[in-house]
A and B are shown apart, each in its own frame.
Chain A
Amino acid sequence: TQLLEQSPQFLSIQEGENLTVYCNSSSVFSSLQWYRQEPGEGPVLLVTVVTGGEVKKLKRLTFQFGDARKDSSLHITAAQPGDTGLYLCAGEGTGNQFYFGTGTSLTVIP
């Protein structure tokens, strides 16, 4: 059982298109992280958001933390084939553990 639900589960788009991935929970988190994972590798941290309502930009990626710190979104502008991978959100609980979302598998077609 995972505390965070991501949508969509699968996404296949053409190069140059925009997309948004959502991460939702009924739980409040002290922070939320986004990771990208490639086949055969461990997840790699993209960003950490801490404050409710916070927006962070990382080149073509924009991350937003919900006001109530229960949800988050990742928006990618002008997707490129190199963006292909499994995107994971992870919420930090009260005991230093962090729990991953269900994952969004993104494929960007050249």
Chain B
Amino acid sequence: GAGVSQSPRYKVAKRGQDVALRCDPISGHVSLFWYQQALGQGPEFLTYFQNEAQLDKSGLPSDRFFAERPEGSVSTLKIQRTQQEDSAVYLCASRRGTENTEAFFGQGTRLTVV
């Protein structure tokens, strides 16, 4: 596609519910990143994929968070048993190569846990 696409744009979940957030990166982009952003703050790193390999998941806040990219393109971030502190915007970014190449971001998914 022309850009990074994320769906849904908005998600309201009841506390305890599982959610799945989808990211369609730019076709051919090797690297894919997930970030969590609180209102007015800088995005915080969650996890990084190079093709289908998850090379860094050090930013995932708990074992309730799980990300996958099974075929090296579309990625899904899953949050189990959502809690109110999970409410945030989840951003996905992709880049063609590895170091020092431009990263392109999706519009994000705003998750609200009630």
Contacts and interface: CB of A to CB of B under 8 A. Distances in A.
Interface in A76-109: 86, 88, 92, 95-103, 105
A43 interface: yes
A99 B107 contact: no
Contact of A97 (B4, B45, B104, B106): B45
A92 to B, nearest CB: 6
Given A42-B91, A45-B102, A97 B33 contact: yes
Interface in A46-95: 48, 50, 86, 88, 92, 95
Given A42-B91, A96-B48, A101 B99 contact: no
Interface residues of B, number: 26
B98 A96 contact: yes
Contacts, number: 65
A30 B40 contact: no
Interface residues of A, number: 27
A10 to B, nearest CB: 8
B55 A95 contact: yes
Contact of B42 (A33, A48, A95, A103): A103
Given A97-B45, A100-B44, A42 B4 contact: yes
Given A50-B100, A96-B98, A86 B45 contact: no
6 contacts: A42-B4, A42-B106, A50-B100, A96-B31, A99-B45, A100-B45
Closest 3 CB pairs of A and B: A42-B105, A100-B42, A103-B42
